[in-house]
Amino acid sequence: MTYIDVSTPLYRKDGKEMLPAELFLKSTPPIIRGILKLAFLKEVLDRYYDFKSILIDLVANLFKEGLIEFVPKAVDIVNAFLDDKISFEQVKSYYKRDAFIWSLFQSMRRTHRFFRTKIMRKRYEFILPGKIKR
């Protein structure tokens, strides 16, 4: 199996993000952008630079896909690569937090779209995904 990531390139040089992280918040209402940045942005971005966090995120996505029965085996497989082992509960807790963050983010984006298109009668510059089952 080969995994090729073609999503947004995240990389740091001398500890500094090379892609302006604020771009991820452009589709949120300007009034709460600063709050989201302070509360969640660093936490979310830091995950992508830590091998253990990447593996936890990978396993946690099984919850999102409704494949909970595969989580224990995935935890066992991941633990073969880690000295500091993870647990089912750790993955479940991570998923709950991640789902909360992304649900909040999507909710803010939908609110912003409604305000821009229905109230202000302006164009909304982003395409939003449909409802994500969590």
The whole-angstrom separation of Cα 8 and Cα 20 is 11
> 86 and 78 in contact (C-beta within 8 Å)?
yes
The reported pTM is 0.79
Going from N- to C-terminal start, the domains of the chain cover: 25-119
- Tens of pLDDT, residue by residue over 108-131, are 899 999 999 999 999 998 888 887
pLDDT, tens digit, 9 for 90 and up, residues 82-101: 999 999 999 999 999 999 98
Identify the burial level of 115 via C-beta atoms within 10 angstroms of its C-beta, where 0-12 means exposed, 13-18 middle and 19 or more buried: middle
Reading the block at residue 101, the tokens are: 């963050």
* One-character DSSP codes across 67-91: -GGGHHHHHHHHHTT-SS---HHHH
